[in-house]
Amino acid sequence: MAQSGPSDNRRRPRPPELNLPDMQQRRIPTSVASAGFVMPPTSGSSGHSMPPGAVGSSTRDRPPINNYNHLTEQALLRSAAREHQPHLHPKKANGALWFGVDPSVHKFIRTTWQAYYWGPWSSWKFVPEERRTSWWHTFIQNYYWEEKHHDEVYNRWKIHTQHTVCQKISRKKRDNEKPKYISEEDWSILLANWATQKAKDKSTKAAKSRTSAPPGKKMSKHSAGPNNFAKLEYDMMVEGGLDESPSFIDLVRKTHTRKDGSFIDERAEALVLEVEDVVDSMILDEDSPNDVSPTASTATTAPSSRFLLDQEFLKLAKTSKGRVYGIGSVQFRDYEPPQSVPASLKRSLDIDLRVSGIETNAEHVQTAVELLKTDMTTLKGDFLAFKTEFQQEMAATRSSLNVILQALGALGAVSPQVNQPDNASTP
């Protein structure tokens, strides 16, 4: 068999300037092109601009960017595929999930940012904006919620991500252990920053602040351990068979007392006792003999006792930093910036109070309607009985009249027969 020479090879050699070892040509997906989105050109490792549609395959310079970033947030939110993802709802309607209550949401958030933590970022505020957007878009793609809950979901996602990033990085710093999701180079930069005098002074100040206490009081403590307050609140509602969340007072008792019922935190105990005294005084004043209708007052006060407790608690538990003492993550349940946390809770409480009043009035109206139906049924029965009795009396009267008329008719027929002989004897 003859060997083929160089002249037998018909393939033309590729010019050196066209060799692209770290690139591969990819076509833009039809769904993206038809929607009007354009894939921006990226740069390869050689520093030359890549042709439109080409995507670098080498990860030596930086890891690949999440493809979700090429779509706008609105396009992701309108995606029909999201409806088949797990649902989020603040009231956990129809078995939906929610932040702090279901561990799967927490795990997904933690896994997302750890998989894409590509820089010497010691906390959330040092994370670049494009990386935060990438994490958020990934979350959008994997969960579904109604449009009216969008702002609340974003705020809860942001707060949850901030806390988890801070907690994980701080714990690794305290244990002097490099996390798996941070490179050696980035971890060295973080260690160098933490070793500066400015960082040490800031850490000492923060540690002192965490262990500080108001004048005349001890350091704040709770008995909930690592459990999320939102999860504890939901468990209390389920165990008690309640249709609504327990009062803030009940939650503080649950999370700030020992097994024997004694308080572990002095400030929490003072708040609970003061709020209960104020509400008891309000209820006694409303039920005083000076009221025009004590029964109506009591009926109105009883359903709203929880709202009275929560209203007074928000007034007394507000801190100088714009937070609410003693209820943990529950205070962010209805948080909507730029409102403060107490203002958001008060707004939500006012709405619940109005809804409760409407529902109570609706129940009263329904009860009145049922009573009216009963009265109408009774009236209808009485009317039918009266009608039957009247008909019977009319029948008896008619029978009597018939007898009288028959008697009168008989007498009228006898009278001519009696008088006829007298007329015949006349000459």
pLDDT at 182 (0 to 100):
93
Cα(229)–Cα(324) distance, rounded to whole angstroms? 13
Q: Confidence band (pLDDT; 50, 70, 90) for 358?
A: low
Same domain, 331 and 197: no
Same domain, 173 and 234: no
pLDDT at 274 (0 to 100):
93
Among the residue ranges 107-111, 149-153, 303-307, 365-369, the one predicted with the least confidence is: 303-307
Q: Confidence band (pLDDT; 50, 70, 90) for 386?
A: confident
First-last CA distance in the chain: 179
Share of the chain above pLDDT 70, in %: 72
pLDDT at 91 (0 to 100):
85
Same domain, 157 and 234: no
Give bridge partners of residue 54 from the DSSP assignment.
Answer: 25
Q: Looking at per-residue confidence, does 330 or 356 come out higher?
A: 330
pLDDT at 384 (0 to 100):
87
pLDDT at 421 (0 to 100):
54
- Tokens matching residue 210: 């965490």
pLDDT mean across residues, the chain: 77
Q: Does residue 14 belong to any structural domain of this protein?
A: no
Q: Confidence band (pLDDT; 50, 70, 90) for 377?
A: confident
Q: What domain range includes position 192? A: 65-202
The highest-confidence range among 217-221, 273-277, 356-360, 379-383, by mean pLDDT, is 273-277
pLDDT at residue 45 tops 60: no
pLDDT at residue 348 tops 60: yes
Q: Could you please report the per-residue DSSP string of 22-86?
A: TEEE-PPPHHHHHTT--PPP-B-TTSPBPPTTEEE---SSSPPPPGGGGS-HHHHHT-GGGGGSP
Same domain, 303 and 341: yes
Q: Looking at per-residue confidence, does 158 or 360 come out higher?
A: 158
In single-letter form, the type of residue at position 164 comes to T
Same domain, 198 and 236: no
Q: Confidence band (pLDDT; 50, 70, 90) for 373?
A: confident
Within 10 Å of residue 39's Cβ, how many Cβ atoms?
16
Share of the chain above pLDDT 90, in %: 32
In 3D, which of 212, 166, 174, 156 has the Cα closest to residue 332?
A: 156
In single-letter form, the type of residue at position 133 comes to T
Q: What would the mean pLDDT of 111-120 be, rounded to a whole number?
A: 92
Q: What would the mean pLDDT of 379-389 be, rounded to a whole number?
A: 86
In 3D, which of 92, 116, 122 has the Cα closest to residue 104?
A: 92
Upstream peptide bond of 40 is cis (omega within 30 degrees of 0): no
pLDDT per residue as tens digits for the range 234-268: 999 888 888 888 899 999 999 999 999 899 998 89
Same domain, 321 and 242: yes
Instruction: Show which of 329, 357, 372 is a domain's final residue.
Output: 372
Q: Looking at per-residue confidence, does 165 or 367 come out higher?
A: 165
Q: Does residue 140 belong to any structural domain of this protein?
A: yes
Q: Does residue 164 belong to any structural domain of this protein?
A: yes
pLDDT per residue as tens digits for the range 304-340: 688 889 989 998 998 888 889 999 888 887 776 677 7
Within 10 Å of residue 96's Cβ, how many Cβ atoms?
19
Number of domains in the chain: 2
Alpha-carbon Rg for the chain in angstroms? 42
Same domain, 275 and 182: no
Same domain, 186 and 295: no
Same domain, 315 and 274: yes
Instruction: Show which of 354, 372, 390 is a domain's final residue.
Output: 372
Q: Does residue 17 belong to any structural domain of this protein?
A: no
Same domain, 243 and 197: no
pLDDT per residue as tens digits for the range 280-307: 888 887 665 554 443 333 334 444 688 8
Same domain, 84 and 191: yes
Residue 145: phi, psi to the nearest 5?
-150, 160
CB 88 within 8 A of CB 75: no
Which residues contact residue 32 at a Cβ distance below 8 angstroms, ignoring those fewer than 6 apart?
Answer: 39, 70, 71
pLDDT per residue as tens digits for the range 149-187: 998 899 999 999 999 999 999 999 999 999 999 999 999
Residue with tokens 């139906």, as numbered in its chain: 373
Among the residue ranges 16-25, 27-36, 100-109, 156-165, the one predicted with the least confidence is: 27-36
Among the residue ranges 48-57, 87-96, 245-254, the one predicted with the least confidence is: 48-57
Same domain, 192 and 234: no
Instruction: Show which of 325, 347, 372 is a domain's final residue.
Output: 372
Q: Does residue 359 belong to any structural domain of this protein?
A: yes
Residue with tokens 């009591």, as numbered in its chain: 298
Q: Does residue 208 belong to any structural domain of this protein?
A: no
Q: Does residue 395 belong to any structural domain of this protein?
A: no
Q: Does residue 10 belong to any structural domain of this protein?
A: no
